[in-house]
Amino acid sequence: MSLFACTWLPGKRRTPKALVFLCHGYAVECGVTMRGTGERLARAGYAVYGLDYEGHGRSDGLQGYVPDFELLVLDCDDYFTSVVRRSQSQSNKDSKRFLLGESMGGAVALLLHLRRPEFWSGAVLVAPMCKIADDMRPHPLVVNILRAMTSIIPTWKIVPSNDVIDAAYKTQEKRDEIRGNPYCYKDKPRLKTAYELLKVSLDLEQKGQIHLSLSSISFSFLFPSCTNRSITWGQPGDPSSSSCFPQY
């Protein structure tokens, strides 16, 4: 399987201040959707790297389909660590390494850190998908039914959802950009994808990786959030997830 990667580097052969790794959200990609972020960080002196997940952007796979969230995280881990090794071999310098995750990418960033707690220097988590709002929490029976259905019709686009783009992006200009981007998935969530996102959100919360074991999150993080959005579990990150983290 071929996965699309993109890179933004500081100009004039400047030595990067640090390495930043982008983890994009569900249904979008890095090369266009996060290009502005990559370009701004590169102008500020950072080396920025992004990877389109399987089924996203210009990577292989059925568009909008996440068959296994763990494998998605492993793909990112393999690529990001290979970039770090290459950077170290070229400069003989152990640069600081930061993750930047938006929505579903916030969950990816958290899981990447939990795989290698000493590897990452810090992270920026933008509305990370790490908690389901109490009023949207599905009954365990619903979860069991959904899991059973994924073995029969995993790729069906049958999960009801509000407009993800309107929920995720504040400005009309950005919404129009996403809708006009052929590399972004705009249809209803596929059944297995919805289940994988639900499972990861429940696992992050129920296993105590967020609420009970914040001591395991050993890196520094910046957590921008907003409170004027109405978000469901099937859409980009729930603002209530900010309550998972200590406030300073």
- pLDDT mean over 110-116: 93
What domains appear along the chain, each with residue ranges and CATH number? 5-244 (3.40.50.1820)
The C-alpha atoms of residue 107 and residue 131 are separated, in whole angstroms, by 10
Lowest mean pLDDT among 127-131, 193-197, 244-248: 244-248
What's 184's DSSP letter?
S
Q: Which residue has the higher pLDDT, 140 or 105?
A: 105
pTM: 0.85
pLDDT at 161 over 90: no
Residue 164 near residue 178, CB atoms below 8 Å = no
Structure confidence at residue 222 (pLDDT): 61
> In 61-76, which positions are buried (b, 16+ CB within 10 angstroms) versus exposed (e)?
bebbbbbebeebbebb
* 102, β-bridge pairs: 126
Structure confidence at residue 158 (pLDDT): 80
- Sheet architecture: strand order including 5-8: 5-8, 47-51, 19-23, 97-102, 122-126, 220-222
Residues in CB range of 1: below 8 A, 6 or more apart = 54, 59, 60, 61
Residue 233 near residue 201, CB atoms below 8 Å = yes
